[in-house]
């Protein structure tokens, strides 16, 4: 196994992680921003006001995109397992 192969596998894994975490992080950011603006306008400083909508929004995103996320992870894992003989033989 060469350094190029290891770097290629690591970069593929990091790209997959970014693709999977992206929708959850963006939704959490947008919901947090909207709730923060609401709190600033109304002067309501309640912790559960920010926590509960974020949890519900993230749960909705995971419910809607969970199948795609799981399929991506399984596809990457299958590709990785199928390429083990070529990696060990040095053909990358």
- Say which range, 15-19, 42-46, 87-91, has the weakest mean pLDDT: 87-91
Whole-structure pTM value: 0.78
User: Residue 35, Cβ neighbours under 10 Å: how many?
Assistant: 19
> Does the CA dihedral 24-25-28-33 come out positive or negative?
negative
Q: Is residue 62 part of a domain?
A: yes
Q: Which domain holds residue 38?
A: 3-87
Does residue 71 fall inside a structural domain?
Answer: yes
**Cα separation of 87 and 61, whole Å?**
36
pLDDT of residue 86: 83
Provide the domain count of the chain: 1
The predicted pLDDT at position 87 comes to 81
The answer to whether residue 81 is domain-embedded is: yes
- In a domain, residue 92? The reply is no
């Amino acid at each position: 196994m060469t350094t190029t192969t290891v770097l290629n596998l690591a970069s593929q894994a990091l790209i997959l992680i970014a693709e999977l975490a992206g929708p959850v992080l963006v939704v959490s950011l947008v919901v947090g921003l909207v709730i923060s603006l609401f709190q600033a306008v109304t002067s309501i400083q309640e912790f559960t006001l920010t926590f509960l909508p974020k949890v519900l929004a993230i749960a909705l995103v995971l419910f809607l995109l969970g199948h795609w996320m799981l399929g991506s992870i399984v596809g990457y894992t299958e590709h990785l397992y199928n390429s083990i003989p070529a990696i060990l033989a040095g053909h990358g």
